[in-house]
C-alpha cells in the first residue's frame, strides 16, 4: 500500500499516518452519551469513522478500533430524574438502542465498545495518581484537574485561556482554584457520601455513587475516556477521533490528563475531527425540535442512502442535511444499483464486440484509492465511481461478458471498501415470465398483446426496457 495522509487537528497539517511497528494501529473514538436515541448527527460521525477504518483495513493495516460509551453523565442523570428511572438502567437501555442503530447502518468496524461504568477502578486509579502528582485537588464538591499546571491546555482547539476564562461566569463550585479547572470526580450532594462503602454503586438523590479513597462519588466525563484508553491502549497511542464539538474542553482535558499521568510530550499522534451536521441550515437543537433520529430516517430511506449522503461530503466540512439532498442521494444510490443490474445482464448475455475497458477499471481504482489516501477525500473517491459509470454507460450493451464482469467486480469492491452493501433486487418470477412471453410476441410483431404484458409487468412494480441484449427488468422507484 501507498502512503496515507490525514489532517491532524493538533498540528493543523496533513500528516502521514503513523503505523506502529508490530502490534495494531490503535484508534479511539469518543462514543455517544447514552441518554436518548441517536440522531443523524451521531450517524454522520460514526459512519465516517466506520468507512475510514474499513479503508485502512482494506490497505492491509492491522487496526484496533475502540469506542467508549458514556453511560455516567449529568445529562443521563437529568433525563432519568425526569423519567423517574434509574440512570444506569436508562443508560443501558439507550446503549442497546445505539447498537441497534449502528447495526442498521452497517457500522461493523468497532472492535470494542467500552462502557465507563465498567472502568470505575481504572478511573479511580488515574484520579489517585493525578492527586499524588499534584495535578488534581479536592474540594467539598469534587476532585478537580488543575489546568494551570498543564501549560499546553488549549493548544488543540487553538484557544487562549485568558480569553476563555470570562466565559466561565456561572460557577458551580466556589472552591475551585480556577474557573477552567474541570471535575474528574463529583461528590453527591449532602453528607451521605460518607456512608457509601463496598463496590457500589448506590443511588443518592438519583445520582449513582461509588465508594472511593478520595470520597464517594462519580466520575467526570473526561476522565472516563482517559481511563478506558489507558486500560486498552496505554497512555500514548496513534489515532483519536471525535466530533468537532469535542475539541474543547473534552479533548483538551483528555490530553491534559493523559500527559499529566505519563509525563510524556505527546498523547496521541493524530487527532481527527468530523464536521458538524446542520438540518436545513440550522443546528439541531432540542428547543427547535429538529432532531432527525436515525430510525426515523431509516423509515424513509435505505441505510446506504445515509452512508452515501455522509460520504459525498468531506468529513471535515459541515454537512447541511436537507430533505432535497436525501431525495437526490436516494436517486444517486439507485442509479449505481441500476447500473450494476444492467452489468449483470451483460454478464449473462454478453455483447458482440467490445472495446477494452481494462484501463478504465485501473483508472477507477487509482482515482478512488488516491483520493482516500489524501485526507480521506470520500467525495472525490465517490466521484470516480460516477465517472466510470458515465464512461461505460454508452458502450455497455456491446461489452463482452468478461469485461462486464470485471467492471461489476471493481465497482462492488470499491463500494465495499467504504462499507456499502449491494444487493440486487429480487425480480419476481412472474415478471420474468411475462417478459419472456412478451419478447416472443414482440418478435412475432404481436404488439398489442406484447403491450398488454408490459402493463402487467408494470403493475407488478417493475419497469421494462428493451435493450440490444433483450428485456431489462428493474423495480420501479
Ligand atoms: Zn471522549
Q: What is the pLDDT of residues 216-251, one digit of tens each?
A: 999 999 999 999 999 999 999 999 999 999 999 999
Distance from residue 189's CA to the centre of ligand 1 (Å): 26
Tell me the CA–centroid distance for residue 112 and ligand 1, in Å: 15
- Distance from the alpha carbon of residue 387 to the mean position of ligand 1, in angstroms: 38
The three cell numbers of residue 94 are 439507550
Contacts of 130 (CB under 8 A, 6+ apart): 136, 143, 145, 184, 257, 260, 261
**pLDDT beyond 90 at 354:** no
pLDDT at 189: 78
b or e along 410-419 (b: 16 or more beta carbons within 10 Å of the residue's beta carbon)? Answer: bbeebbebbb
Q: Helix or strand or coil: residue 396?
A: helix
Q: Percentage of the chain with pLDDT > 90?
A: 83
Percent of the chain whose pLDDT exceeds 70: 95
Distance from Cα 384 to the centre of ligand 1, integer Å? 34
Query: What is the 241 CA–ligand 1 centroid distance (Å)?
Result: 9
Q: Which pLDDT score is estimated for 477?
A: 80
Q: What is the mean pLDDT of residues 17-28?
A: 90
74 CA → ligand 1 middle, Å: 15
Cα separations (Å) of 291 from 277, 285, 295? 11, 7, 11
> Is-cis flag, bond preceding 249, omega within 30?
yes
Report the candidate in 168, 173, 167, 161 with the shortest Cα–Cα distance to residue 137: 173
- CA of 129 from ligand 1 middle (Å) equals 20
Q: Long-range contacts: 129-135, Cβ < 8 Å, 24+?
A: 129/261, 130/184, 130/257, 130/260, 130/261, 131/214, 133/260, 133/261, 135/256, 135/257, 135/260
251 secondary structure, DSSP code = I
- Reading the block at residue 390, the C-alpha cell is 458515465
Question: What's the gap in Å between 182 CA and the centre of ligand 1?
Answer: 14
Distance 225 CA to ligand 1 centre (A): 5
Contact of 349 with 399, CB cutoff 8 Å: no
Distance 115 CA to ligand 1 centre (A): 12
Question: Is 261 in contact with 293 (CB distance < 8 Å)?
Answer: no
Cell 437501555 -> residue: 93
Average pLDDT estimate for 296-319: 98
**Per-residue model confidence (pLDDT) at position 352:** 66
What's the confidence (pLDDT) of residue 194? 59
Q: What spacing in Å lies between the alpha carbon of 31 and ligand 1's midpoint? A: 7
DSSP run (H or E) holding 103: helix 87-104
Q: What band does 149 get if pLDDT is binned at 50, 70 and 90?
A: very high
pLDDT band for position 392 (cuts 50, 70, 90): very high
Q: What is the CA(170)–ligand 1 centre distance, in A?
A: 24
Task: Report the separation in Å between the CA atom of 315 and the middle of ligand 1, taken as the mean of its atom positions.
Answer: 18
How far is the centre of ligand 1, averaged over its atoms, from the C-alpha of 35 (Å)? 16
For residue 106, pLDDT beyond 90:
yes
Element (H, E) at 207: strand 207-209
Q: pLDDT-based confidence at 446, cuts 50/70/90?
A: very high
Neighbours of 163 (CB within 10 A): 9
pLDDT tens track for 339-348: 999 999 999 9
- Please tell me the distance between residue 441's alpha carbon and the centre of ligand 1 in angstroms: 66
Q: What is the mean pLDDT of residues 167-187?
A: 82
Res 353: pLDDT: 61
pLDDT of residue 191: 63
Round the average pLDDT of the chain to a whole number and report it. 93
Between the CA of 278 and the centroid of ligand 1 the distance, in Å, is 22
Amino acid at each position: 500500500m501507498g502512503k496515507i495522509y490525514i489532517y491532524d487537528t493538533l498540528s493543523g497539517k496533513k500528516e502521514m499516518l503513523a503505523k506502529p511497528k508490530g502490534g495494531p494501529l490503535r484508534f479511539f473514538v469518543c462514543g455517544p452519551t447514552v441518554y436518548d436515541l441517536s440522531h443523524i448527527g451521531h450517524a454522520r460521525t460514526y459512519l465516517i469513522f466506520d468507512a475510514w477504518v474499513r479503508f485502512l483495513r482494506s490497505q492491509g493495516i492491522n487496526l484496533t478500533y475502540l469506542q467508549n460509551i458514556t453511560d455516567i453523565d449529568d445529562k443521563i442523570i437529568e433525563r432519568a430524574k425526569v423519567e423517574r428511572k434509574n440512570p444506569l438502567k436508562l443508560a443501558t437501555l439507550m446503549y442497546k438502542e445505539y447498537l441497534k442503530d449502528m447495526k442498521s447502518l452497517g457500522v461493523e468496524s468497532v472492535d470494542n465498545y467500552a462502557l465507563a461504568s465498567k472502568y470505575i477502578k481504572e478511573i479511580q486509579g488515574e484520579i489517585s495518581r493525578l492527586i499524588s502528582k499534584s495535578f488534581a485537588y479536592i474540594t467539598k464538591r469534587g476532585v478537580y484537574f488543575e489546568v494551570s499546571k498543564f501549560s499546553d491546555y488549549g493548544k488543540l482547539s487553538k484557544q487562549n485561556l485568558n480569553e476563555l476564562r470570562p466565559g466561565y461566569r456561572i460557577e458551580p463550585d466556589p472552591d475551585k482554584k480556577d474557573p477552567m479547572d474541570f471535575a474528574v470526580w463529583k461528590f453527591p450532594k449532602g453528607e451521605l457520601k460518607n456512608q457509601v462503602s463496598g463496590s457500589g454503586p448506590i443511588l443518592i438523590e438519583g445520582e449513582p455513587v461509588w465508594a472511593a479513597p478520595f470520597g464517594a462519588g462519580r466520575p467526570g466525563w473526561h476522565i472516563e475516556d482517559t481511563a478506558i484508553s489507558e486500560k486498552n491502549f496505554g497512555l500514548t497511542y496513534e489515532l483519536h477521533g471525535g466530533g468537532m464539538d469535542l475539541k474543547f474542553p473534552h479533548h483538551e482535558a483528555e490530553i491534559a490528563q493523559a500527559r499529566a499521568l505519563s509525563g510524556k510530550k505527546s498523547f496521541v499522534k493524530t487527532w481527527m475531527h468530523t464536521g458538524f451536521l446542520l438540518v436545513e441550515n440550522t443546528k439541531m437543537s432540542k428547543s427547535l425540535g429538529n432532531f432527525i433520529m436515525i430510525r426515523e430516517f431509516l423509515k424513509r430511506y435505505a441505510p446506504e442512502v445515509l452512508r452515501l449522503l455522509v460520504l459525498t461530503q468531506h468529513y471535515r466540512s459541515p454537512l447541511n442535511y436537507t430533505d432535497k439532498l436525501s431525495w437526490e442521494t436516494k436517486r444517486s444510490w439507485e442509479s449505481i444499483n441500476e447500473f450494476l443490474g444492467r452489468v449483470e445482464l451483460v454478464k449473462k448475455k454478453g455483447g458482440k464486440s467490445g472495446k477494452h475497458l481494462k484501463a478504465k477499471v485501473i483508472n477507477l481504482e487509482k482515482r478512488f484509492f488516491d483520493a482516500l489516501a489524501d485526507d480521506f477525500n470520500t467525495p472525490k473517491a465517490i466521484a470516480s465511481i460516477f465517472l466510470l459509470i458515465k464512461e461505460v454507460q454508452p458502450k455497455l450493451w456491446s461489452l463482452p461478458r468478461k469485461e462486464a464482469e470485471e467492471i461489476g467486480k471493481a465497482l462492488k469492491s470499491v463500494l465495499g471498501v467504504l462499507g456499502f452493501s449491494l444487493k440486487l433486487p429480487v425480480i419476481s418470477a412472474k415478471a420474468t415470465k411475462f417478459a419472456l412471453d412478451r419478447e416472443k410476441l414482440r418478435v412475432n410483431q404481436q404488439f398489442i398483446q406484447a403491450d398488454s404484458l408490459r402493463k402487467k409487468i408494470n403493475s407488478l412494480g417493475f419497469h421494462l426496457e428493451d435493450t440490444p441484449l433483450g428485456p431489462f427488468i428493474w423495480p420501479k422507484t
